Chain A
Amino acid sequence: DIQMTQSPSSLSASVGDTVTITCQASQDITISLNWFQQKPGKAPKLLIYDASNLETGVPSRFSGSGSGTDFTFTISSLQPEDIATFYCQQSDNLPPTFGGGTKVEIK
Protein backbone atom coordinates (compact mmCIF):
# COMPACT_ATOMS: atom_id res chain seq x y z
CA ASP A 1 0.00 0.00 0.00
CA ILE A 2 1.11 3.58 -0.61
CA GLN A 3 1.84 5.40 2.63
CA MET A 4 0.71 9.02 2.94
CA THR A 5 2.54 11.21 5.45
CA GLN A 6 0.96 14.49 6.46
CA SER A 7 2.48 17.30 8.44
CA PRO A 8 1.96 18.91 10.78
CA SER A 9 -0.45 16.72 12.73
CA SER A 10 -1.97 19.85 14.24
CA LEU A 11 -1.62 23.60 13.99
CA SER A 12 -3.03 26.73 15.52
CA ALA A 13 -3.42 29.90 13.47
CA SER A 14 -5.22 33.23 13.62
CA VAL A 15 -8.18 34.26 11.52
CA GLY A 16 -6.86 35.65 8.25
CA ASP A 17 -3.61 33.70 8.37
CA THR A 18 -2.36 31.54 5.54
CA VAL A 19 -2.25 27.88 6.54
CA THR A 20 -0.15 25.27 4.73
CA ILE A 21 -0.30 21.50 5.08
CA THR A 22 2.04 19.10 3.34
CA CYS A 23 1.50 15.53 2.25
CA GLN A 24 4.13 13.10 1.02
CA ALA A 25 3.45 9.84 -0.77
CA SER A 26 5.74 6.83 -0.40
CA GLN A 27 5.90 6.51 -4.20
CA ASP A 28 5.03 8.51 -7.29
CA ILE A 29 1.28 9.07 -7.54
CA THR A 30 1.42 11.67 -10.37
CA ILE A 31 -1.43 14.08 -9.51
CA SER A 32 -3.81 11.49 -8.04
CA LEU A 33 -4.20 13.27 -4.74
CA ASN A 34 -7.36 14.45 -2.99
CA TRP A 35 -7.88 16.69 0.02
CA PHE A 36 -10.77 16.28 2.44
CA GLN A 37 -12.11 18.41 5.29
CA GLN A 38 -13.75 16.73 8.25
CA LYS A 39 -15.62 18.67 10.92
CA PRO A 40 -16.38 17.04 14.27
CA GLY A 41 -19.15 14.47 14.04
CA LYS A 42 -19.40 14.81 10.25
CA ALA A 43 -18.26 12.81 7.27
CA PRO A 44 -15.21 13.93 5.32
CA LYS A 45 -15.95 16.38 2.52
CA LEU A 46 -14.01 16.38 -0.74
CA LEU A 47 -12.41 19.79 -1.29
CA ILE A 48 -9.76 19.22 -3.94
CA TYR A 49 -9.22 16.38 -6.42
CA ASP A 50 -6.34 15.60 -8.76
CA ALA A 51 -4.00 17.69 -6.60
CA SER A 52 -5.27 21.12 -7.58
CA ASN A 53 -8.86 21.01 -8.82
CA LEU A 54 -11.41 22.66 -6.57
CA GLU A 55 -14.62 20.70 -6.07
CA THR A 56 -17.74 22.65 -7.08
CA GLY A 57 -18.92 25.03 -4.38
CA VAL A 58 -15.67 24.99 -2.39
CA PRO A 59 -14.40 28.50 -1.50
CA SER A 60 -11.44 29.72 -3.53
CA ARG A 61 -9.35 30.33 -0.41
CA PHE A 62 -8.64 26.60 -0.51
CA SER A 63 -6.02 25.45 -2.96
CA GLY A 64 -3.73 22.53 -3.67
CA SER A 65 -0.55 21.91 -5.60
CA GLY A 66 2.11 19.34 -6.25
CA SER A 67 2.80 16.18 -8.22
CA GLY A 68 4.78 13.01 -7.89
CA THR A 69 5.35 12.48 -4.18
CA ASP A 70 5.06 15.96 -2.66
CA PHE A 71 1.86 17.93 -2.28
CA THR A 72 0.70 21.09 -0.53
CA PHE A 73 -2.71 22.25 0.67
CA THR A 74 -3.24 25.93 1.47
CA ILE A 75 -5.95 28.00 3.10
CA SER A 76 -5.17 31.54 2.01
CA SER A 77 -7.16 33.37 4.69
CA LEU A 78 -8.24 31.16 7.57
CA GLN A 79 -11.87 31.60 8.60
CA PRO A 80 -13.56 30.44 11.82
CA GLU A 81 -15.69 27.97 9.87
CA ASP A 82 -12.54 26.27 8.53
CA ILE A 83 -11.83 24.63 11.89
CA ALA A 84 -11.58 20.95 11.07
CA THR A 85 -9.23 18.08 10.42
CA PHE A 86 -7.86 17.88 6.89
CA TYR A 87 -6.79 14.68 5.17
CA CYS A 88 -4.89 13.91 2.01
CA GLN A 89 -5.72 10.73 0.11
CA GLN A 90 -4.07 9.08 -2.88
CA SER A 91 -6.27 7.68 -5.63
CA ASP A 92 -3.50 6.41 -7.88
CA ASN A 93 -3.22 2.84 -6.61
CA LEU A 94 -5.65 0.49 -4.97
CA PRO A 95 -6.29 0.49 -2.11
CA PRO A 96 -6.75 4.26 -1.80
CA THR A 97 -4.95 5.40 1.35
CA PHE A 98 -5.28 8.43 3.58
CA GLY A 99 -2.85 10.57 5.48
CA GLY A 100 -3.07 10.76 9.25
CA GLY A 101 -4.79 14.13 9.25
CA THR A 102 -3.98 17.70 10.28
CA LYS A 103 -6.15 19.30 12.94
CA VAL A 104 -6.52 23.03 12.37
CA GLU A 105 -7.50 25.24 15.28
CA ILE A 106 -7.95 28.96 15.78
CA LYS A 107 -5.37 30.71 17.95
Chain B
Amino acid sequence: VLLQESGPGLVKPSQTLSLTCTVSGGSITSHYWSWIRQTPGKGLEWIGYLSYSGSTNYNPSLTSRVTMSLDTSKNHFSLKLTSVTAADTAIYYCARGKASPDYWGQGTLVTVSS
Protein backbone atom coordinates (compact mmCIF):
# COMPACT_ATOMS: atom_id res chain seq x y z
CA VAL B 1 0.00 0.00 0.00
CA LEU B 2 1.37 3.39 -1.00
CA LEU B 3 0.04 6.78 0.06
CA GLN B 4 0.97 10.06 -1.60
CA GLU B 5 0.02 13.53 -0.40
CA SER B 6 -0.48 16.34 -2.89
CA GLY B 7 -1.47 19.98 -2.70
CA PRO B 8 -0.08 23.50 -2.50
CA GLY B 9 3.09 23.98 -0.49
CA LEU B 10 2.28 27.58 0.29
CA VAL B 11 -0.98 28.95 1.66
CA LYS B 12 -1.76 32.53 2.65
CA PRO B 13 -2.95 33.34 6.17
CA SER B 14 -6.74 33.17 6.61
CA GLN B 15 -7.10 30.97 3.51
CA THR B 16 -7.93 27.26 3.28
CA LEU B 17 -5.34 24.52 3.20
CA SER B 18 -6.38 21.67 0.89
CA LEU B 19 -4.54 18.38 0.57
CA THR B 20 -5.30 15.09 -1.12
CA CYS B 21 -3.95 11.65 -0.34
CA THR B 22 -3.96 9.15 -3.18
CA VAL B 23 -3.90 5.51 -2.17
CA SER B 24 -2.44 2.84 -4.43
CA GLY B 25 -2.09 -0.89 -3.91
CA GLY B 26 -5.25 -1.11 -1.85
CA SER B 27 -8.84 0.01 -1.72
CA ILE B 28 -9.86 3.09 0.20
CA THR B 29 -13.16 1.38 1.01
CA SER B 30 -11.68 -1.13 3.42
CA HIS B 31 -9.88 0.89 6.09
CA TYR B 32 -9.84 4.02 8.20
CA TRP B 33 -7.68 6.93 7.02
CA SER B 34 -5.99 9.65 9.03
CA TRP B 35 -4.25 12.97 8.72
CA ILE B 36 -1.36 13.78 11.08
CA ARG B 37 0.91 16.79 11.10
CA GLN B 38 4.34 17.49 12.52
CA THR B 39 5.97 20.70 13.62
CA PRO B 40 9.28 21.32 15.41
CA GLY B 41 7.41 23.01 18.23
CA LYS B 42 4.38 20.78 18.87
CA GLY B 43 5.72 17.53 17.51
CA LEU B 44 3.31 15.00 16.03
CA GLU B 45 -0.36 16.00 16.17
CA TRP B 46 -3.26 13.83 15.07
CA ILE B 47 -5.72 15.89 13.00
CA GLY B 48 -8.47 13.33 12.55
CA TYR B 49 -9.66 10.26 10.73
CA LEU B 50 -12.41 9.20 8.38
CA SER B 51 -13.84 5.78 7.81
CA TYR B 52 -14.48 3.92 4.60
CA SER B 53 -18.14 4.88 5.03
CA GLY B 54 -17.26 8.55 5.28
CA SER B 55 -17.82 9.07 9.00
CA THR B 56 -15.27 11.34 10.63
CA ASN B 57 -13.65 12.12 13.96
CA TYR B 58 -11.54 15.24 14.42
CA ASN B 59 -9.12 16.47 17.05
CA PRO B 60 -11.17 18.78 19.31
CA SER B 61 -8.45 21.41 19.02
CA LEU B 62 -9.07 21.65 15.27
CA THR B 63 -12.63 20.44 14.79
CA SER B 64 -14.08 23.87 14.00
CA ARG B 65 -11.71 24.26 11.04
CA VAL B 66 -11.29 20.72 9.66
CA THR B 67 -13.18 18.77 7.05
CA MET B 68 -12.17 15.39 5.71
CA SER B 69 -13.77 13.52 2.85
CA LEU B 70 -13.12 10.58 0.58
CA ASP B 71 -13.62 9.97 -3.11
CA THR B 72 -13.95 6.27 -3.78
CA SER B 73 -13.98 6.74 -7.54
CA LYS B 74 -10.45 8.17 -7.38
CA ASN B 75 -9.31 6.08 -4.42
CA HIS B 76 -8.25 9.18 -2.54
CA PHE B 77 -9.21 11.17 0.52
CA SER B 78 -8.86 14.84 1.32
CA LEU B 79 -8.21 17.35 4.08
CA LYS B 80 -9.42 20.93 4.28
CA LEU B 81 -8.28 23.25 7.05
CA THR B 82 -9.81 26.71 7.05
CA SER B 83 -8.62 30.06 8.41
CA VAL B 84 -4.98 28.99 8.57
CA THR B 85 -2.32 30.88 10.47
CA ALA B 86 1.44 30.52 10.76
CA ALA B 87 0.81 27.97 13.51
CA ASP B 88 -0.56 25.60 10.85
CA THR B 89 2.80 25.48 9.08
CA ALA B 90 3.79 21.83 9.28
CA ILE B 91 4.59 18.63 7.47
CA TYR B 92 1.25 16.99 6.78
CA TYR B 93 1.04 13.19 6.57
CA CYS B 94 -1.78 10.98 5.46
CA ALA B 95 -1.87 7.48 6.93
CA ARG B 96 -3.89 4.29 7.05
CA GLY B 97 -5.66 3.49 10.32
CA LYS B 98 -7.55 5.57 12.85
CA ALA B 99 -5.39 5.34 15.96
CA SER B 100 -2.51 3.01 15.07
CA PRO B 101 -1.45 4.10 11.59
CA ASP B 102 0.56 1.40 9.85
CA TYR B 103 1.15 2.96 6.41
CA TRP B 104 2.11 6.60 5.95
CA GLY B 105 2.64 8.92 3.03
CA GLN B 106 6.02 10.59 2.67
CA GLY B 107 4.60 13.86 3.99
CA THR B 108 4.22 17.27 2.41
CA LEU B 109 5.42 20.56 3.84
CA VAL B 110 2.79 23.27 3.92
CA THR B 111 3.93 26.76 4.79
CA VAL B 112 1.46 29.45 5.79
CA SER B 113 2.83 32.82 4.77
CA SER B 114 1.81 35.90 2.86
Which residues does A use to contact B, with CB under 8 Å?
Answer: 1, 32, 34, 42-46, 49, 55, 87, 89, 91, 94-98, 100-101
Partner of B99, one of A43, A91, A100: A91
Contact (A45, B43) CB under 8 Å given A91-B99, A95-B59: no
Q: Mark B74-100, 1 if CB is under 8 A from A, else 0.
A: 000000000000000000010100011
Least CB distance from B58 to A in Å reads 8
What separation, in Å, do the CA atoms of A98 and B95 have in the docked complex? 15
In the assembled complex, which residues on chain B have CB atoms less than 8 Å from the CB atom of A49? 100, 102
In the assembled complex, which residues on chain A have CB atoms less than 8 Å from the CB atom of B43? 87, 98, 100-101
In the assembled complex, which residues on chain A have CB atoms less than 8 Å from the CB atom of B52? none
In the assembled complex, which residues on chain A have CB atoms less than 8 Å from the CB atom of B102? 46, 49, 55
When C-beta atoms are compared, the residue in chain A nearest to B34 turns out to be A96
What separation, in Å, do the CA atoms of A34 and B104 have in the docked complex? 15
Which residues does B use to contact A, with CB under 8 Å?
Answer: 43-46, 48, 57, 59-61, 93, 95, 99-102, 104-107
Contact A95 B46, beta carbon cutoff 8 Å: yes
Least CB distance from B76 to A in Å reads 17
What separation, in Å, do the CA atoms of A43 and B107 have in the docked complex? 6
In the assembled complex, which residues on chain A have CB atoms less than 8 Å from the CB atom of B107? 43
Contact (A98, B101) CB under 8 Å given A42-B106, A43-B107: no
Contact A89 B44, beta carbon cutoff 8 Å: yes
Contact A43 B46, beta carbon cutoff 8 Å: no
